[in-house]
Amino acid sequence: MIENGWMKKQHIKLTAEDRAYLEALISKGSLSTKIYRRALSLLELDRGKTYTALSETLQVSIPSISGWAKGYSETGLQVLNDQPRSGRPIEISGEQRAKITALACSEAPEGYSQWSLRLLAEKAVELDFCEHVSHTQISDILKKTNSNRI
């Protein structure tokens, strides 16, 4: 593509099928922001928009846009979805969470007016609900319930 005598870099070239899919996808209106931005970025890059212009329009970093362009050339439309992330696996199962929640809803131990997060963590380990759990994990578990114990 030549514009004003300068060669304009085309970042990606979508197939007709991919272009049609992406246009249909963004017209739905019920996408997550993440997928919408990725899909729109691919379409705009195909139309010749620069990383800088796209970054300003979508409020996304240039390295992100560059990564999506590279990802499209490597994996196609799979780039729309997040790849599995490395990191520590979830150690507390749904069943363990249920037991911890039930414990929090039970009577507090003798000498206590109510359960504290630290006390719940200690008791969950003592009752062998899990090998180890921190008071902050207990807090996260109980936040996901309608419990008023915290």
Give tens-digit pLDDT for 55-84. 999 999 999 999 999 999 999 999 998 877
Question: Among positive and negative, which fits the CA dihedral 18, 24, 27, 31?
Answer: negative
Mean pLDDT computed over 98-119: 92
Q: What are phi and psi of 131, to 5 degrees?
A: -70, -40
What is the token pair recorded at 139? 């807090």
Higher-confidence residue of 147 and 107: namely: 107
37-46, 76-85, 103-112: segment of lowest average pLDDT: 76-85
Domain positions in the chain: 2-80, 94-143
Q: b or e along 130-146 (b: 16 or more beta carbons within 10 Å of the residue's beta carbon)?
A: beebeeebbeebbeeee
User: 75: how many CB neighbours lie within 10 A of its CB?
Assistant: 12
Q: What is the pTM assigned to this prediction?
A: 0.54
Determine the Cα–Cα distance for residues 111 and 126; give it in Å rounded to an integer. 18
